[in-house]
Amino acid sequence: MPPSPRTRRSCAAVAALALSVLALAGCSGGGSSAGGHTASSAPLPAAASSAAPAAAAKDKITIDNFKFKPSKLSVKAGARITVTNKDTTAHTVTGTGSAKFNTGHIAPGKKKTFTAPKKAGSYPFHCSIHPFMKGTLTVN
């Protein structure tokens, strides 16, 4: 079957919709000058992101933009490590070679935990879906 022209048309419709949303936003932004400056003192939402009181806050890895952050993590033997996927695609934390830990697929926006090896050493890991994503877990 040839690719249907429908797909293309619906894409164009989405693009047009996005444009009209932008246009609407532009209109409402520029037009309303009725109330002086009373309504313009909204609090900044900047401080909301970094407040997470966790017990073992450092034993965690965040996946963001196809990168492990941090890419080098140092933990105690047998530590429980939480992996948070901030991307819009699934990722894994998979031990490379003889390292046996593996989170399995972590869905977008989700988190999973895995247990670090009990033996001290340096354990490289990667994402089994995107093998170019690499990191190293050091067990002390």
Residue 129 found at the interface with Cu ion (CB under 5 A):
yes
Question: Given the complex with Cu ion, which of 69 and 130 has the nearer CB atom?
Answer: 130
The CA distance from 137 to 121, in Å, is 8
Residue 127 found at the interface with Cu ion (CB under 5 A):
yes
- In angstroms, how far is CA 32 from the centroid of its own chain? 36
Helices (H), the chain: 5-31
- Grouping H, G, I as helix, E, B as strand and the rest as coil, residue 61 is strand
Residue 91 found at the interface with Cu ion (CB under 5 A):
yes
Residue 106 found at the interface with Cu ion (CB under 5 A):
no
The CA distance from 93 to 130, in Å, is 10
The CA distance from 80 to 119, in Å, is 14
Residue 67 found at the interface with Cu ion (CB under 5 A):
no
Name the segment binding Cu ion (CB under 5 A); options: 6-14, 32-40, 70-78, 87-95: 87-95
Residue 126 found at the interface with Cu ion (CB under 5 A):
no
Q: Residues interacting with Cu ion, by CB under 5 A? A: 91, 127, 129-130
